[in-house]
Amino acid sequence: MTDPITRPPWAGRDLSGQWGASRAEWCASRVTAPGAAAGAERGQRSGHAGRGSPMSAGLGRGCRRLALCRPLRAWLRARAHTQQGEPGSLKIKPKTTHVPKIYTKTGDKGFSSTYTGERRSKDDQVFEALGTTDELSSAVGVASELSQESGHTFVKQLHKIQCMLQDVGSNIATPLSSAREAHLKRTSFSEKPVLELEQWIDKYSDQLPPLTAFILPSGGKSSAALHFSRAVCRRAERCVVPLVQAGEADANVAKYLNRLSDFLFVLARYAAMKEGKEEKIYTKSEP
């Protein structure tokens, strides 16, 4: 890329019709005479150049020529600064982006903030439920990656579940006792996701053989990872129920986690069936 300091602003342009044959040389000579335009203006004020006179016409042409020389003057100044070791006026400094630090140190004393601005101890039931929901999303993420490697088409539904778990966390982090109307509008959790899970459960259940025995988490990597996610989901539900009973979280959040554990169980069985993997059956040990 050509440096704008060493490349004149008119480079690559045909200015013969605009400047004339020798006008560029004339402009270069006028760069060192910055007072020419000022002198012409003083002449007009003193009355030596009446309107319509030959001198006025000459001054008009001179001013137009000086206007054409402005790009040349700017280029020559920038080039002179660069040659003297100073930064050229035409050089553009790269923009710098400020990256915030990942740590804030605000929780070093064992307290954290809810979405409503409350400061609570980190062992508060709200943060226990939030942490378990985050753990559940991570478990679903592992199951999703393993399922994708096996070519399962339900991966897109697992991705949607992870997005919904973010909404679950938003609702948990907004205790209803301290939430304002603006908070509630952003973090309320409706029944629609619950009904969607029920539809998914029915869809996959209809494709499975009847369950005649208690099965153990097994059936291949995808199935086992989905069973693990189901177990974490049960724990997340147990953490959320006290918040719902205390009126601090929407009841639909607990319903969603309850349906989600059922869906993960059905999906684990479906993954084992599609992969042709055997599900291990519980057998009671002899006394």
Q: What is the pLDDT of residues 176-196, one digit of tens each?
A: 888 888 888 899 999 999 999
Tell me the one-letter amino acid at 128.
E
Confidence of residue 103 (pLDDT cuts 50, 70, 90): confident
What are phi and psi for residue 113, nearest 5 degrees?
-110, 140
pTM here is: 0.66
Distances from the Cα of 150 to the Cαs of 62, 120, 138, 247, 267, in angstroms?
Answer: 79, 43, 19, 42, 14
Residue 281, classed as helix, strand or coil, is strand
Conformation bin of residue 34: beta by default, left when phi > 0, alpha when psi is -120 to 50? alpha
The tens digit of pLDDT for each residue in 39-97 reads 445 545 544 444 455 555 554 555 555 555 666 666 666 666 555 555 544 556 677 77
Q: Is the pLDDT of residue 239 over 50?
A: yes
